[in-house]
Amino acid sequence: MDLFRFLDLVLVLPADLLPEYEEALRKEVSSTMEWISNFERRAIDRGLQQGLQQGAVQTAREGILDTLKLRFTRTPRSVSARLRKLDDPATLRSLHRKAVTAESLEEFEQALLETAGGV
């Protein structure tokens, strides 16, 4: 596996060779994966899923903060702190929509307080 990682970092393959390289890499990974138990495979899958969800939540928080900064030129630390405590993607999507449509920063802060339940 280290050879493939090295090649990926060092070489830039022509487009016509890329599918062949990816197939060889898939075979290498699948032969390595054969030695992983079902328990380990489930743990890896669960870890990947959690990582993806955490990444999505962080991206949603950043999107809200970017929108607020763009629209209102500042974002109070209290808003950032409250957003860091939220981890529900649906709640963050709702707050992002509010960040886009709020007439003022104060209106967004009120929605954040109501949505976050005083977090």
Q: Model's pTM, two decimal places?
A: 0.61
Whether pLDDT at 35 is above 90: no
Name the nearest CA neighbour of 93 among 67, 74, 73, 72: 67
Mean pLDDT, the chain, whole residue set: 83
Of 9-23, 45-59, 68-82, which one has max mean pLDDT? 68-82
**Tens-place pLDDT, residues 36-62:** 677 777 888 788 888 888 888 999 999
